[in-house]
Structure 1
Amino acid sequence: MATRIPESEALLTPAEVATMFRVDPKTVTRWAKAGKLSAIRTLGGHRRYRESEVRALLAGIPHQRTGD
């Protein structure tokens, strides 16, 4: 099931998120699998993360699931 993303919503790669948190990109993938961060799949199957959600997590604001 595909999730519609507003055109203005910035998406980050696992490497970009990993740089922000100073962790390995595989850690970001594990966070997504654990539900700590929601991932969006590209048509090629790659994960992307909403910048707003990543910044909220970085600021310590709890993650709110949105009917994805």
Structure 2
Amino acid sequence: MTTASSTSEVLLTPAEVANMFRVDPKTVTRWAKAGKLSSIRTLGGHRRYRESEVRSLLADFEAGQHGN
């Protein structure tokens, strides 16, 4: 995990997010393109995701899974 220097927000890689949701990293990229999850681009062009946003989405996701 890396942190953004200005806000000290923890940033996650697509693989880390995918592991949390138990999906393929490509799925995480599709979610970002669809606007379900916002991403930050590194200087090298790689996507990173805010941990706080990911955890919020995960909580919503799990709540939806248990509601069925």
What TM-score bracket applies, with the shorter chain setting the length? 0.7 to 0.9
TM score, norm. by length of structure 2 = 0.79
Per the alignment, residue 53 of structure 2 pairs with 53
TM score, norm. by length of structure 1 = 0.79
Alignment length, in residue pairs? 58
Larger Rg: 2
Percent identity, please.
83
Higher RCO (Cα < 8 Å, 6 or more apart):
1
Query: RMSD of aligned C-alpha atoms?
Result: 1.8
Q: Where does structure 2 lack aligned partners over 5 or more consecutive residues?
A: 62-68
Runs of 4+ in 1 over 4 A off after TM superposition: none
